[in-house]
Structure 1
Amino acid sequence: MAISLTRGVLLLAHGDDLVLEQVGGVADDTSGGVPCTRATRFQIASISKQMTAVAVLLLAERKALDLADPVARWLPRTPAHWSGITLHHLLTHTSGIGHWSDYPMIDLAGPADPDDLLATFAAGAPLFAPGAGWSYSSPGYVLLSRVVERAADRPYGTVLDEEVFGPLGMTGSFAGTPVDRAEVAVGHEDGRPVPSWDLDVVNQGTGDVWCTGPDLLTWLDVPRRGRLLTADSVAAMTTRHALTPRDGEAYGYGCFLGPLAGEPAVHHSGYNLGFKSLAVWLPESDRRLVLLTNQAEVDPALASAALAAR
């Protein structure tokens, strides 16, 4: 198939060489039709979980926390049914805490009080005992971001700025609401601009990060080159800790591990209202693929076609 991206950025690198680059469409047609460029920031949605996992691993390296810590050590007023949940369980989606569909009372786009949000999570019945199953849980990563704040004694976004984005040179990346930042894409559904989900409280740590295409390509050097983390932490991040329902796939810390394009892959995708994202590293061929778009309707074969073409 022809590789054609309506809105966004598609990058493919082989080794250190960029072999495919597509940048097209409109980033913000509410302001006169601002085009997408390499500097446009997109919501990367659930790929944000990788940044949360790395922040936790950095704090573990410094002995500020331990992955075996019970969540009750770090969060106040946790319910009795969370007593067996550890940070490892949250990182691997094996905590038994549900996903957004299990909390229909939560408005993903509306403002929320942080304590009220945690209370809503705590009131939900567990899906299974900690470690007894696997179920994808964005709320689990919200909890991890709160743990990071307490262990680092700084706001979560500040931790990412100072400990993750800054050291990696990801100068176009940030977490939370853009406020007055420039070169920020507007999400689209059915061809129309849509309001953003809340990124400061409800989606903190689970879908709150904005990146440029080149920044997200750099991000994939964390597992690829061992940047930022020790070798042991990279190994922990990319270990197959828990099997997912998909054949041959497992989950590490903030990443899926399974076959893509006929090769083992470290990858994650994301969806926020009006945005789709994908970040893939294929270790055997040393290829990295990044797809960021501010349009919900994306041909699912686009990434596979890019990989097949090179």
Structure 2
Amino acid sequence: MSASSLDSGVLLLARGDEILTEQVAGVADRSTGVHCAAGTRFQIASISKQMAAAAVLLLAERGALSLSDPVVRWLPGPPPEWSGITLHHLLTHTSGLGHWEQYPAVDLVDPAEPDDLLGSFAAVPPLFRPGAGWHYSSPGYVLVARAVERVADRPYAEFLAEEVFAPLGMTGSFAGAGDGRPDVAVGHEGGRPVPSWDLATVSMGAGDVWCTGTDLLTWLDVPRRGRLLAPASVTAMTAAHAPTGRPGEAYGYGFFVGPLAGRRALHHSGDNGGYKAFAAWLPDSDQRLVLLSNQAEVDPVTVTSVLGPAEAR
């Protein structure tokens, strides 16, 4: 994907603190004709898992929880099969919980009562015992967000707003439903608007955050500059905890750790209904790459072509 081929969304490439590529294109809402702008907020989908991981690490730094704590401590009526699942397992996708396709009773668009949603997850047996494998699991991150709410004693979206976004100066970011918010892009598929997934409950912690392109670039300063978190927490977040099965790749806490376009990277893509997203930091060249689009047809991984050839070592 070249910079000129972005049809709708925001593309940013930085090296160090210099912006090399900055493109804004397309329409934020076809029903109104409002165009995308630098201040347009997009769903970042599964990149939201990084904010959930940061929330847990912040609480761990304060002694409010431990990454080795069983998650059932903060969940109502958990099934016995979840008794060995820790926060570490959930953050690294090694809990044994499945992804959305394993839970056909869950409708990603329709709102659900929080405890009913947990009941839908509990009704499906885990794929393996905790720590015995790796399987990407958004439902696992929903449990992470529920634990954050219980430990912090406040709504998850409020915790992110006050403890994550505000300290980083991410003034265009928020978690949860976009209804009634200004400057939000509407997701499109096949050129037509599509209903948003429920972000207040069903995708809480897993895919619920909205960001501007600039804010998401700022977010990458958490691993890059050690902002927000203590050094030990940054190390834990970016460590290669669990092999994913792809060559040279592992999962940290909310980050894939492994090769990207032939070089070391921390990265993650996002895919909600009508939205695609991608964010990466390449430490060897200190490049940061952000793509946010409100078109379902975009292949976010192709954006890596704007990085150019890998430098010889």
Could you state the TM-score of these two structures normalised by the residue count of structure 2? 0.97
- Report what 1:93 is aligned to: 93
Task: State the partner residue of 1:221.
Answer: 221
Q: What do you get for the CA RMSD once the two structures are aligned?
A: 1.2
Deviations 1:256-310 (A, max 9, x none): 0010121110001000000000000000000000000000111456412211179
CA distance in 1, matches of 2:196, 2:2: 31
Confirm or deny: 8 A CA contact 2:103 2:121 kept in the other structure: yes
The answer to whether residue 103 in structure 2 is matched with residue 103 in structure 1 is yes
Moved over 2 A (4+): 299-302
CA distance in 2, matches of 1:16, 1:111: 40
Aligned counterparts, 1:43-54, within 5 A: 43-54=43-54
Matched, 1:297 2:270: no
Paired residue total = 309
Q: Distance in 1 between matches of 2:205 and 2:101?
A: 18
The one-character-per-residue Cα deviations of 1:134-181 (angstroms, maximum 9, x if unpaired) are 000000000000000011000000000000000000000000012211
In the TM superposition, what is the alpha-carbon distance from 1:105 to its structure 2 partner?
1.1
Which structure 2 residue ranges, 5 or more long, are not aligned?
none
Give the structure 2 partner of residue 26 of structure 1.
27
Matched, 1:185 2:212: no
Cα distance in 1 between the residues matched to 2:142 and 2:299: 29
Equivalent position of 2:17 in the other structure:
16
Q: Equivalent residue of 2:308, what SS? A: helix
Other-structure match for 1:131:
131
- Amino-acid identity (%): 69
| TM-score under structure 1 length normalisation | 0.98
1:6 paired residue number = 7
Amino acid at match of 1:181: R
The residue number in structure 1 matching 2:252 is 252
Structure 1: gaps (5+ residues): none
- Distance in 1, matches of 2:69 and 2:111, equals 30
Which residue of structure 1 lines up, in the alignment, with residue 271 of structure 2?
271
Residue 118 of structure 1 is matched in structure 2 by 118
Range with greater deviation from structure 2 (68-77 or 150-159): 68-77
Code of the residue aligned with 1:20 in structure 2: it is T
